[in-house]
Structure 1
Amino acid sequence: MRADLMFSSATVSGFVFGLGLIFSLGPQNLMLIRAGMLRNHPMAVASTGYVSEIALVAMGIGGLGTVLTQHPTLSGTLQLGCAGFLAWCGLRVLIRVSRASEAEVPTEARGSRFRAISLMLAVTWLNPLAWLEVMFLVGVFSSGYASEAQIGFAFGFLSASAIRFYGWSLAGVGLSSKLKLPAYRRKLDAVAGVVLISAAVVLSLNILNSV
């Protein structure tokens, strides 16, 4: 990429937009923090999410987000299915919290790399919030720029995304000592479950309101 494009207004705009998602308490960020705190292959989880982010950005710039908006029935069906998946994941987490004993060691800490990566893929690709925040909004915001400047916008956004994915994973690793106390493990699980269910409820309400 040319130096002038790297520091263009489009690149700066994409970077600022990406920074705004760093502190959003969504399923992806919670998964990153949890993987770090549990030392459950945090770098593999972060890399999986980041590569998926690159793919979503590419599809957003390529116009897939616009295509979905032109077919509301298909989009609504996909979103309802994804909302159901998020609610199911959240309920599973809360059920696990309710059954956990004081001395229980979380099974996720002994999870395989394949399981950790699969969970991140599911939270990303079956999470319509990720589609909205990344694929659709990036496509909309970058559409005001020329084709070359859109690449700069994507570069800026993905630079901020790298900070988000690897930053939250490393932050989780730094907080891993807290998991020596079962109470912290249960609190983290409870927050994750509530966020997943809340995301499903908000998404479902938005779909119903748009009908």
Structure 2
Amino acid sequence: MWESLVAGLGVGLSLIAAIGAQNLFVIRQGVRRNHFGLVIVICTLSDVLLIAAGIAGLAVIIQRASWFMVVARWGGGLFLIGYGVLAGRRALQGSDEGLDASASSPMLASRAAVAATALALTWLNPHVYLDTLLLLGSVANTKQAPWLFGIGAGVASLTWFSALGFGARYLARSLSSARSWRIIDAMVAIVMIVFGIGLIVAR
């Protein structure tokens, strides 16, 4: 039975480790020290809910509802492109946010804005349904102890997002210059726009 737990941990880490829009947002909020703990909680709980839903059988329903993936693909793609354009504008124009990454900086986003962005990056991304709900849910149901597999995958999410957020926070001091932030925003813009276009044109 413990093999299912270890398998869930391994498969979960292998799926979540790729740098995508969600991971990049966790890193950015960690570097800014801007409610990154809240982002970690939202991303982890979202994964746990999707994994549990997949194990419980929702994966089968989603597979049959082709319209759902179309809506998620277009909604997620447009959101990522819009977010990327805003990041690109910050990269080109520059801002003062890199001069102060402390929690008291007026340039930091509110708790509600950060939470809304984290939720959108998670739930508007069709890959989260393909990987977390469909794939992990399907694999879990092939195991002797599917719920232990799910627990392992949930632990993988918590470990990964915590490592990203707290690791980025640790690097905040070395990324305190405005030039560093323009580089970060340029990377964010490229990744978000490429992912967004990729979602829309995907078949």
With the length of structure 1 as denominator, give the TM-score of the two structures.
0.85
Partner of 2:189: 193
The residue identity in structure 2 corresponding to 1:76 is V
Partner of 2:66: 72
Partner of 1:121: 119
Note if contact 1:32-1:46 (Cα within 8 Å) is conserved in structure 2.
yes
Partner of 2:24: 30
Partner of 1:174: 170
1:45 aligns with 2:45: no
Partner of 2:97: 105
SS at match of 2:202: helix
Deviation at 1:22, TM superposition (A): 4.6
Q: Give deviations 1:73-125, integer Å, cap 9, x for gaps.
A: 33223322221222121112112222225xx2257852222222221111111
User: Could you tell me how far apart the structure 2 residues matched to 1:155 and 1:204 are?
Assistant: 32
Are the structure 2 counterparts of residues 108 and 195 from structure 1 closer, same or farther at C-alpha, using a change threshold of 3 Å?
farther
Task: Indicate the RMSD between aligned Cα atoms, in angstroms.
Answer: 1.9
Are the structure 2 counterparts of residues 65 and 75 from structure 1 closer, same or farther at C-alpha, using a change threshold of 3 Å?
same
Deviation at 1:202, TM superposition (A): 2.0
Partner of 1:133: 131
The residue identity in structure 2 corresponding to 1:145 is K
1:150 aligns with 2:150: no
Partner of 1:161: 157
The residue identity in structure 2 corresponding to 1:120 is A
Q: Which moved more, 1:70-79 or 1:25-34?
A: 70-79
User: Could you tell me how far apart the structure 1 residues matched to 2:78 and 2:198 are?
Assistant: 12
User: Could you tell me how far apart the structure 1 residues matched to 2:32 and 2:106 are?
Assistant: 7
The residue identity in structure 1 corresponding to 2:4 is A
Note if contact 1:11-1:155 (Cα within 8 Å) is conserved in structure 2.
yes
User: Could you tell me how far apart the structure 1 residues matched to 2:176 and 2:28 are?
Assistant: 14
Note if contact 1:42-1:169 (Cα within 8 Å) is conserved in structure 2.
yes
User: Could you tell me how far apart the structure 2 residues matched to 1:16 and 1:173 are?
Assistant: 25
Note if contact 2:72-2:125 (Cα within 8 Å) is conserved in structure 1.
no
User: Could you tell me how far apart the structure 2 residues matched to 1:34 and 1:152 are?
Assistant: 32
Deviation at 1:158, TM superposition (A): 0.9
Are the structure 2 counterparts of residues 108 and 142 from structure 1 closer, same or farther at C-alpha, using a change threshold of 3 Å?
farther
78, 85, 88: which is aligned to 1:91?
85
Partner of 2:102: none
User: Could you tell me how far apart the structure 2 residues matched to 1:17 and 1:94 are?
Assistant: 34
With the length of structure 2 as denominator, give the TM-score of the two structures.
0.88
Note if contact 1:38-1:108 (Cα within 8 Å) is conserved in structure 2.
no
Are the structure 2 counterparts of residues 175 and 108 from structure 1 closer, same or farther at C-alpha, using a change threshold of 3 Å?
farther
What are the ranges of 5 or more consecutive residues in structure 1 without an aligned counterpart? none
* Residues paired across the two proteins, number: 197
The residue identity in structure 1 corresponding to 2:41 is S
Deviation at 1:64, TM superposition (A): 2.2
Q: Give deviations 1:7-53, integer Å, cap 9, x for gaps.
A: x2211111101121353111111111111100101111111111111
Deviation at 1:129, TM superposition (A): 1.9
Deviation at 1:63, TM superposition (A): 2.3
